[in-house]
Chains A and B, each alone.
Chain A
């Protein structure tokens, strides 16, 4: 167990939440996701930074330039020249600004008087312009979580970046559908001191955002970045945490990583380890290699090169996060340069590389038993640049933990993405006039928080808190309140929440269900046209045919009722057959039922129901 107080853990969270507006932030295109297959046009660009503007040693930006990749963009009939960076942006979307103001008020923030849109330089291609438009709206707020006050530093309104479709190393494919969707970026102060608290704060912020009813929901519409530091460690920014449930794990693993890197530092210093500042061409060592990766690289005109880490033996292969070694960090760097990864002597011979090759390799670079050698294969320039960076990284092992931007992996570990960007890459967006925050703009209503609504449901309708929260947090809470006045609230909650969850488990596509479907089911119950047990059947029908009419639904219901009766009768009549043949009685019985219901009820439904009845009978008999 880590004593987080003792290691001096400080965590700040940055939430990016897409807003559910009609139009994008700087053009009149709709904020809809598209299937890449629907793209009707594509084009490609390069991005570059001027040397004169990298004056302040902005490593993050410089590294991207060095990679000089080609970016392909997929356009749609729902995107325009603004997304393609072929037309100046329109004025700031006021609908989005209003939502941002509302959220800032819910976070007890103070507002600027005049909003200035900035260009934040981002040259990984995710913005066609090479920058992300962003504006600081409000600052200095707070939320209370479990009695602890967490400060909110800033709220910015920004445009969403492109969706990455494919990364082929030197070519990256992006989809323009997402570019320009408004989002709010909310950053807390580093007031969070435990992994659990980080998770709670993120959940609370998410709840507040959803309470507005004006944010997008679903996969990818909200992302968390986490800033983590420990004493003697470094500030690390972890990007793109999509699953809140592993947020605590991510924090924990990062602390472990930093503690391990510090241990490695101490050990390397003790060993008097050093990194040789030279790149060796070792292509000839692998002339007849059985390693497919290396052979392929050489065959396509590439080179194999190596670097020498003196007295690093055993350390490159040391685990620093579950399943990740120091060598994995080096491999991450190689990947950002478009290479497949690296090999290092702590793990060799392996992967088709023979013992003899390892010996020759060590001899060639002059490595002894206590040294480690890292090799990379591929395009000459890429290999050279990647190893140059890995040398720098290896040298930093003797200093401590480098400041980095990292990417969250699904298991809670993180991978290297790029150096932490400097703060100075912001230009005024001269194409968008500043916007005054007026009294009228600030005069917005504060919506009821989902958690308050849940409490109200517990009190008023007698639901359990968990169920009440689920309903309060769903898009159908208004429907719930409407019908909870007419029929038992537990039944309404069952129709809206429990039945769909059960149907999903059974394999029904409940994503097609819309408010009108639930309304139909609830109305049938409220009007006394259907018993409450019928709701499940109704929703099943809608899952299979979202456009079914009420009459059609009722017909299926009555037939299903008849069918149930008929099956019960048959099972009773043929009980001897079932006793004798067990589940094999299904086939003859199915024939009997289908004789009656063919063309009236779906055969699959009949089979399902019959099988269930037979099984129940068997269980009863035994």
Chain B
């Protein structure tokens, strides 16, 4: 009989304990005592399993209010959606609009919320196929008339998903990705503030895919990052997301919710027609070069049928000269794009000999694109265009992923 979650009376250490059995990952019985503490016992005897009625607290039904914009929240799982039941220790994620409204009641003052749980997966388990399904869901939601879309997402790969949506989806409304660096079951979680700022962004006059997350370690404001210009740059801090090679589009003040825009060249609401091009070519690889790495790695993927290669080179965009022959060979029927592991700055392969040889061998400069963005872009280009067209378009700015000039930020 599975006794996890049940109340039991136990004999251990010569005494009687009563408590609820918690999930255990060792050989100990873990008991939640009535004083709230969990304790583990190695030798024990269960005297009795006490039947207990489970009490559930009904959440109040949400009422739609006239005159407020409507926002759809699509959950893909991750820290922001997870929840621990302190009585049983179980992690749950139902993600209903009622639940969200209960946790972040301020949302109800600014919009009518509908919620759906599309996935409940960790962000490292996201696959390109998930991006496609997500893009379709967003597309059909916008078609239904939502004024803005919020996607809750694990933070680890959020910037990949943001890029994928940005390329696949021409959107007339804001599509906002949001996450949390501290799980939402703790009082200090950044989830509520991020979600509130995301909602403010979702009803703004924007018309593109963005990431909204804490701008600083304080609960003062969130940045609105362009989805193809942002990257997670810290393992744990709230302000882990940074716009790179381009300023954030704006900021949302908390708790006032006021938005200040920093960038004029942004897509506005209804500026673009709703359109979905949801094919992705998945034989694309991102390779980080390091001193001594042999070009065999290219051969390996090429032989496996890969035809998209994004290189994360050194400095201005270099790999060792002993790669040049291999690159020349594979680039005949592949797209080879150079990005930089410096992240900040632009690729320029015309400064040093190595670079010039690489260009001659068929490498295309990825301009100031982030490596992950270039990866997703190549997937999308090869999925929707022939190779020659893709080679041309990879250097062209499509949705803000390439800026014409690099400025001081």
Contact = CB atoms under 8 A, between A and B. Distances in A.
B40 A44 contact: no
Interface string A115-146: 11011110100001111001110011000000
A99 B249 CA distance: 53
A119 B189 CA distance: 14
Contact of A130 (B187, B217, B219): B187
Interface residues of B, number: 50
A129 B39 contact: no
A524 to B, nearest CB: 54
Interface string B183-203: 011111000110000000000
Given A55-B57, A130-B186, A434 B36 contact: no
A384 to B, nearest CB: 18
Contact of A52 (B26, B28, B59, B187): B59
A114 B39 contact: yes
A112 B38 CA distance: 10
Contacts of A86: 181, 217, 236-238
Contacts of A50: 102-103, 184-185
Interface residues of A, number: 50
B86 interface: yes
A134 B36 CA distance: 11
Nearest to B185: A427
A85 B28 contact: no
A222 interface: no
B218 A45 contact: yes
A587 B176 CA distance: 85
A48 B192 contact: yes
Contact of A110 (B15, B22, B33, B193): B15
Contact of A154 (B26, B35, B217): B35
A44 B103 contact: no
B38 A116 contact: yes
A114 B30 contact: yes
Interface in B159-197: 181-182, 184-188, 192-193
A156 B36 CA distance: 12
Given A110-B15, A129-B187, A43 B218 contact: yes
A49 B186 CA distance: 8
Contact of A47 (B15, B83, B187): B187
B36 A423 contact: yes
Contacts of B28: 113-114, 434
A136 B187 contact: no
A423 B38 contact: no
Contact of A51 (B32, B83, B105): B105
Contacts of B39: 112, 114-116, 136
Contacts of A118: 36-38
Contacts of B114: none
Contacts of B38: 116, 118, 136, 426, 428
Residue from B42, B187, B216 having most chain A Cβ neighbours under 10 A = B187
Nearest to B42: A113
Interface string B37-55: 1111111000000000001
Contacts of A7: none
Contacts of B184: 50
B41 A113 contact: yes
A426 B32 CA distance: 9
A445 interface: no
A329 B40 CA distance: 43
Contacts of A52: 57, 59, 83, 99, 102-103
A120 B187 contact: no
A116 B86 contact: no
30 contacts: A43-B216, A43-B218, A44-B218, A45-B218, A46-B219, A47-B187, A51-B102, A51-B105, A52-B59, A53-B86, A81-B237, A84-B217, A85-B188, A86-B236, A110-B13, A113-B43, A114-B26, A116-B37, A116-B40, A118-B37, A123-B187, A129-B188, A130-B187, A136-B33, A136-B38, A139-B15, A426-B32, A426-B36, A426-B38, A426-B86
4 A-B pairs with least C-beta separation: A114-B40, A130-B187, A426-B36, A116-B38
Given A50-B185, A85-B188, 11 more contacts: A53-B185, A81-B236, A81-B237, A84-B217, A112-B40, A115-B40, A129-B187, A424-B36, A425-B86, A426-B36, A436-B40
Interface of A: 43-53, 55, 81, 84-88, 110-116, 118-121, 123, 128-131, 134-136, 139-140, 154, 156, 423-428, 430, 434, 436
Interface of B: 13-15, 22, 26, 28, 30, 32-43, 55, 57, 59, 83-84, 86-87, 89, 99, 102-103, 105, 181-182, 184-188, 192-193, 216-220, 235-238, 255
